[in-house]
Amino acid sequence: MNRSFPDISLQLNERKIRHTYFKRVKYVQITLNSPSVSTLTDRISFFIRR
């Protein structure tokens, strides 16, 4: 029984990491696709040009 514990914890940890990773990817995609970000980058590029 003691040998199966590390495997379970490892699986849980992996699942957690994967979950957070996918959340981050989704968040990044959403922020990149949102119009406010594009206007923000336009503003930044505008300021850089000046």
Is residue 3 domain-resident?
A: no
DSSP 8-state assignment for residue 1: -
Encode pLDDT of 2-29 as tens digits. 565 667 777 888 888 888 888 877 777 7
Is residue 1 domain-resident?
A: no
SS3 2: coil
Average pLDDT over residues 20-46: 72
Is residue 2 domain-resident?
A: no
Q: Which domain holds residue 33?
A: 8-49
Quote the number of domains for the chain.
1
Predicted TM-score (pTM) of the model is: 0.35
